[in-house]
Amino acid sequence: MFFGFSAVDLIVIVLYILLIVYLGLKTKNKVKSSGDYFMGGRKGSRWMMIANGFGGATHTDQAIGVAGATYEIGLGGIWYQWMYLFVTPFFWLLGPIYRRVRYVTTGDFFEERYGSKHGMAYSGMALLYYIMDMGLILKGTGTAIEAVTNGALPSTVIIIFITIFFLAYSVIGGLVSALL
């Protein structure tokens, strides 16, 4: 046992990391524009876009939030996760629409529809939101891994590792990496 993980666990984790790094490096040369980076060169299928949108709306911190809410308020805490059942149809609708109208980001939509000031305002608010959201996701993931390893891996170390890993993967490959 190493940090609470068996040899098989560690092998799977290392293989996963190597695969992700390989995919990022393999696809880095395919990124030639912001459209390639953010939209995967618009080569993904409708199902890929739906899966990407849904995946972006679910996080590792939700399991902790659901468990905590269920502990506090009972079975109704499951709605912390099930609330996404009602917004899932938006993933089916928005992905193909964005692809058709050639928007790269939601900020592009606001800028074209309402003017550059609204586009900048949306982008600023989205940036603030995602900074806080990513902090919560990292904290939730770090806390979960710290609990799984019985404190052998502190959440701070996990947060730093995941941040470096995420930045390396996303900077190298962008959404093109996800299309493989």
Q: List the single range of 4-13, 17-26, 82-91, 98-107 with lowest mean pLDDT.
A: 82-91
Contact (CB, 8 A) for 178 and 53: no
> Crossing angle, helix 116-148 and helix 61-73, to 10 degrees?
70
40 alpha carbon, distance to own chain's centre? 15
For the segment 114-126, the average pLDDT, to the nearest whole number, is 91
The pLDDT of residue 117 = 92
Phi and psi at 74, nearest 5°, equal 95, -160
Q: Which residue has the higher pLDDT, 114 or 34?
A: 114
**CB contact burial 29-52 (16+ within 10 A = b; e otherwise):** ebbeeebbbbbbbeebeeeebbeb
Q: Which residue has the higher pLDDT, 36 or 157?
A: 157
Element (H, E) at 28: none
The pLDDT of residue 125 = 93
The pLDDT of residue 140 = 82
The pLDDT of residue 22 = 80
* Percentage with pLDDT > 70 across the chain: 72
Does pLDDT of 172 surpass 70? no
The pLDDT of residue 20 = 76
For the segment 133-144, the average pLDDT, to the nearest whole number, is 85
CA 112-42-101 angle, 5° bins: 25
Q: How confident is the model at residue 148 (pLDDT cuts 50, 70, 90)?
A: confident
Q: How far apart are CA 154 and CA 141, in angstroms?
A: 11
The pLDDT of residue 175 = 55
Predicted TM-score (pTM) of the model is: 0.59
Q: Which residue has the higher pLDDT, 160 or 140?
A: 160
The model's pLDDT over 94-113, given as tens digits with 9 standing for 90+, comes to: 767 777 777 777 788 888 88
The structural domains of the chain, with segments of one domain joined by +, span 7-178
Contact (CB, 8 A) for 180 and 22: no
Mean residue pLDDT of the chain comes to 78
Residues in CB range of 166: below 8 A, 6 or more apart: none
